[in-house]
Amino acid sequence: MRPSLSVCALFLAASTLVACASSLDKARVARNAHDDVRAEQYLRKSMASDPEDRAAAQKELASLKFAQAQAKAKQDPAAAEKLVRESLTLAPGDEKAVDLLGRVIAAQGRLDEAIGVLGEGEQGKPCDMCKRYLSVLLLERADKREAAKDFEGARADYSRATDLIPDAATALAVARISEQLGDFEGMTRAVELAVPLIRADDSAAQNEFLGIRERTVLAAAGRGDVTLADRWLNFFPPGAGGDGWYVLQLRLAQELYRQKKVDVAIGRARHMLGPTHTDTLPANRKTEFQRFLADIYRLQGVGFLREGKLVEADDNFRMAMEFAPTDDKIKLLRALAIAGNKEIGRAIQVVNALPKETKGHAEVLAILESMQVADRLADGDVEGAKAALARAQAASAETPEVHVAMAEMLVITPAAGITKGIVRQLKKSGIVKYPNDEVNRYGEALSELAWAREQARGLGEGYLFRGPGIDARMANLDRQLRAFYPFPVEFNADSTAILKIRFKSGAAGEVGVKTDEGEQAVRVPAGSEGAEVVLRQPGLTYFRINGKVSSFVTEPYTRVTIDL
């Protein structure tokens, strides 16, 4: 049977369409058949000979090259690079192609070049699709630079990465590097960016923040930069409050106190104990702040006590007791303030009412009894003074104030073995002009003062238990004695007298030193610190220099420097 006319017509039409298909159409057919070679041939032919299809053909060829590059990216990044560059030649600025080019270049180990490709973009800005991988590469390079101690380069990469993809860890890395560079302001700005990015479930970022904050606050405190310290203490990402925050507040207050910014330190500590933090301050930190304030007020009170400022001393002791009401040491100190107000008897009653095992109990009792020595002597009650001194020595003989009281007693005690003849001899040739011809134990008194000063220095400025106005008391007694007894005196632990003889001119010479033991020649070298001689039986001593004789009463437990 012959085909109908209509069937023949349709066959003829289909044949005509195939014969008349464009190069672009043929390329599409080939690509659908996965024949990339023929597809590329037809696309290039279309670009060369079909003006109407040129743009579409160029775009499809770029897509073809990109797809080929994608397929080879993992196994053969070098071949993929060549293909994607061809794609970009055909479709410049295509974001997917730029991103892929950066990836395959990086896969070949050319990190700097990959960062350059991904970061160029239009107007020097990376394309939106490129930002994430560019950030990854910047972090990789930043890590390498940080390990190589190229901190400026590392910070630049970390900063650029966090600008592209805001991230807490990256912002904290900028802060960490800024710390290495000593740029505290840059570090602070970086943390300001990091804080809102730190999540409640990001313990790593939280811990890094806490470490940086602690170092920064303490460093700022060490420089006295309270403003910067507070700025950091006001950062509150998740996990930043609680006990650790209060610990830093305490350490800051302690550092301010160490820098003698006492009022600022007190103000901060009192604020922590105020109503703002009543519900959040941990109990153990509350105790530490209270102890800190009690110690400050107590030490201030001790300072005022030494200066004889009794009202100020008592005020500070009272405030100390507000923060440490069960501290019996503060009660001992208040007893000293009471005694300074001429109520020694009442002060002794206060001390006796406290447990004897309280630290400082014996020392304070000794101080109070030593104060009675001065009062009894002022009233002319020598026997009462001796009894008070004995009680002071029994309580704590090595307390500096007891030695001061001993010095006060020695000043009125005649030196041993002094006769009228010795007094006459001293008036003629003595190198000390004794007041009213009273040859008392002035040298020993000065020795006791020297011991008291040395003992006080050994105890340190932080030692609590010192008598009211004791420094002035020592200075006044020393000044009275120096008015007629000009020679330096040091404490000598033995009952001998040690003389250190010097010539004022610094010249060499020989001195004859005569006592009841006999006479000995002492050679003093030129320019020396002097020559020493030990007298086992102190008493009237003669110095003979070139026929000239001088006299002096040596005393036990003294080491006296004599300039002749």
**CA angle, 427 as apex, 425 and 433 as ends, to 5°?**
130
Model confidence band, residue 410 (pLDDT cutoffs 50, 70, 90): very high
Give CA separation, 392 vs 168, 262, 335, 372, 389, in Å: 67, 35, 16, 9, 5
Task: Check whether 85 has a pLDDT greater than 90.
Answer: yes
Q: Give the pLDDT confidence of 177-186 residue by residue, as tens digits.
A: 999 999 989 9
Instruction: Give the pLDDT of residue 461.
Output: 78
Return the residue matching tokens 């940080």.
146
Task: Check whether 30 has a pLDDT greater than 80.
Answer: yes
Neighbours of 103 (CB within 10 A): 23
Q: Residue 221 has what DSSP assignment? A: H
Average pLDDT, the chain: 91
Q: Give the pLDDT confidence of 194-221 residue by residue, as tens digits.
A: 999 999 999 999 999 999 999 999 999 8
What's the whole-number mean pLDDT along residues 85-114?
94
Task: Check whether 5 has a pLDDT greater than 70.
Answer: no
To the nearest 10°, the Cα dihedral for 202, 203, 206, 210? Answer: -170
Q: Give the pLDDT confidence of 223-275 residue by residue, as tens digits.
A: 888 999 999 999 999 999 999 999 999 999 999 999 999 999 999 999 999 99
Instruction: Give the pLDDT of residue 20.
Output: 60
Model confidence band, residue 121 (pLDDT cutoffs 50, 70, 90): low
To the nearest 10°, the Cα dihedral for 283, 286, 290, 293? Answer: 160
The torsion angles phi and psi of 255, rounded to 5 degrees, stand at: -65, -40
**CA angle, 55 as apex, 54 and 57 as ends, to 5°?**
65
The total number of residues shown for the chain amounts to: 564
For residues 174 and 200, the answer to whether their CB atoms sit within 8 Å is no
For residues 400 and 454, the answer to whether their CB atoms sit within 8 Å is no
Instruction: Give the pLDDT of residue 504.
Output: 79
What is the rounded CA–CA span in Å between residue 437 and residue 434? 5
Q: Give the pLDDT confidence of 524-535 residue by residue, as tens digits.
A: 888 778 889 999
What is the rounded CA–CA span in Å between residue 20 and residue 23? 10
Q: Give the pLDDT confidence of 420-467 residue by residue, as tens digits.
A: 999 999 999 999 999 999 999 999 999 999 999 999 999 887 788 989
Q: Give the pLDDT confidence of 461-503 residue by residue, as tens digits.
A: 778 898 998 888 999 999 999 999 999 999 999 999 999 998 8
Task: Check whether 16 has a pLDDT greater than 60.
Answer: no
3-state secondary structure at position 460: coil
Nearest Cα residue to 559 out of 491, 501, 511, 493:
491
- How much of the chain exceeds pLDDT 90, in percent? 80
Task: Check whether 166 has a pLDDT greater than 60.
Answer: yes
What is the rounded CA–CA span in Å between residue 243 and residue 250? 11
Q: Residue 195 has what DSSP assignment? A: G
pTM of the model: 0.66
Task: Check whether 124 has a pLDDT greater than 80.
Answer: no
Return the residue matching tokens 């101690």.
149
Q: Give the pLDDT confidence of 301-345 residue by residue, as tens digits.
A: 988 988 889 999 999 999 999 999 999 999 999 999 999 988 999
Domains located in the chain, CATH noted: 5-124 (1.25.40), 492-564 (2.60.40.10)
More confidently predicted of 1 and 437? 437
Instruction: Give the pLDDT of residue 276.
Output: 95
Give CA separation, 337 vs 165, 322, 332, in Å: 66, 17, 9
Give CA separation, 250 vs 205, 226, 267, in Å: 24, 13, 12
What's the whole-number mean pLDDT along residues 88-117?
94
Instruction: Give the pLDDT of residue 119.
Output: 87
What is the rounded CA–CA span in Å between residue 53 and residue 62? 14
Give CA separation, 84 vs 88, 98, 105, in Å: 6, 8, 11
